[in-house]
């Protein structure tokens, strides 16, 4: 039998999504820094809801999205996800999100269930490294680097769809957020993540680096098409969102 997550899902801690967004939002020429590392096996199941299976090996995904223009203005979004599967499909569970634009944070939270915390989010692109970080007061819960970037083929990169926990008109649900990506250019390099205890669960501390990429992308944030009961296996608890449910 496959393993399932054991996270106790509390609706009171989830963002409130009053209606399911039906129109996609297109963002062009954004920079997307992604770093993937293994995390410890012990406690991995504790950070995933019962709808999802853990990956093997267990991984966490650090992403920083730098957007120059959007319906909410320029913003930077730093997020930390846990690698997962919904039945047989590759997914990631959104654990943390940090944003430097309150309007963008409200839109991402209210429409797609991002648990945004206001932060100072930075991205530095140099010839020898790409560095990203998020500061919340005296804490730095997100601090990653890609070292020695080298160009690779744009088709070499994959971004796992995200499962975002939210309180919805259907109850507490995981929203399937599966943006479309047009990758215009991409480089890879050596990954580095600095974990500091504080706002981020210590069970997400990296144990072994896997990959780091930095890409220029167009992103289409999707309409919500599917949601999942977080307490049931995804094969049983997934349902399509219809206009009547909005």
Here the CATH number for the domain that contains residue 182 is 2.40.400.10
Residue 175 lies in a domain: yes
Whole-Å CA distances, 197 to 61, 93, 180, 205: 17, 20, 33, 9
Residue 213 lies in a domain: yes
- The list of the chain residues with pLDDT below 70 reads 1, 10-12, 243-246
Residue 53 lies in a domain: yes
Distance of CA 124 to the CA centre of its chain: 20
Whole-Å CA distances, 206 to 19, 72, 203, 225: 36, 33, 8, 32
The dihedral built from the CA positions of residue 76, 91, 160 and 35, taken in this order, carries a sign that is: positive
What integer pLDDT is reported at residue 197 of this predicted model? Answer: 78
Give the Cβ contact number of residue 122 at 10 Å.
Answer: 17
**43 contacts: CB under 8 Å, gap ≥ 6:** 203
What integer pLDDT is reported at residue 29 of this predicted model? Answer: 98
Do the beta carbons of residue 201 and residue 135 sit within 8 Å? no
Burial zone of 181 (CB within 10 Å; 0-12 exposed, 13-18 middle, 19+ buried) = middle
What integer pLDDT is reported at residue 198 of this predicted model? Answer: 79
Residue 5 lies in a domain: no
The total of structural domains in the chain comes to 1
- DSSP state letter for 16: B
pLDDT tens sequence across 85-131:
998 899 999 999 999 999 999 999 999 999 999 999 999 999 999 99
pTM higher than 0.85? yes
Residue 199 lies in a domain: yes
Residue 108 lies in a domain: yes
Residue 180 lies in a domain: yes
**163 contacts: CB under 8 Å, gap ≥ 6:** 51, 52, 84, 86, 91, 92, 93, 94, 174, 175, 176, 177, 228
Question: In whole angstroms, what is the distance from residue 206 CA to residue 19 CA?
Answer: 36
Choose among 225, 227, 236, 185: nearest CA to 14.
Answer: 227
What integer pLDDT is reported at residue 244 of this predicted model? Answer: 47
Q: Which structural domain range is residue 33 located in?
A: 11-237
Residue 214 lies in a domain: yes
């Amino acid at each position: 039998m496959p393993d399932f997550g054991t996270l106790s899902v509390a609706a009171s801690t989830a963002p409130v999504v009053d209606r399911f967004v039906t129109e996609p939002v297109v963002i062009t020429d954004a920079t997307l820094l992604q770093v993937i590392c293994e995390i410890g096996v012990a406690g991995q199941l504790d950070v995933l809801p019962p709808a999802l299976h853990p990956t093997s090996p267990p991984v966490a995904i650090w992403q920083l999205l730098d957007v120059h223009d959007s319906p909410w203005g320029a913003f930077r979004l730093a997020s930390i996800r846990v690698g997962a599967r919904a039945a047989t499909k590759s997914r990631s569970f959104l654990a943390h999100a940090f944003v430097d634009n309150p309007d963008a944070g409200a839109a991402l939270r209210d429409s797609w269930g991002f648990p945004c915390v206001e932060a100072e989010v930075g991205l530095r692109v140099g010839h020898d490294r790409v560095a990203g970080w998020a500061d919340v007061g005296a804490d730095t819960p997100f601090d990653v680097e890609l070292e020695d970037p080298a160009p690779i083929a744009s088709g070499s990169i994959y971004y796992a769809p995200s499962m975002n926990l939210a309180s919805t008109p259907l109850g507490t649900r995981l929203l399937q957020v599966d943006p479309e990506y047009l990758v215009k250019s991409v480089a890879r390099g050596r990954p580095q993540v600095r974990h500091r205890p504080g706002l981020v669960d210590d069970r997400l501390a990296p144990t072994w680096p896997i990959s780091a990429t930095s890409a220029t992308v167009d992103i289409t944030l999707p309409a919500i098409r599917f949601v999942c009961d977080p307490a049931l296996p995804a094969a049983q608890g997934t349902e399509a969102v219809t206009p009547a449910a909005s």
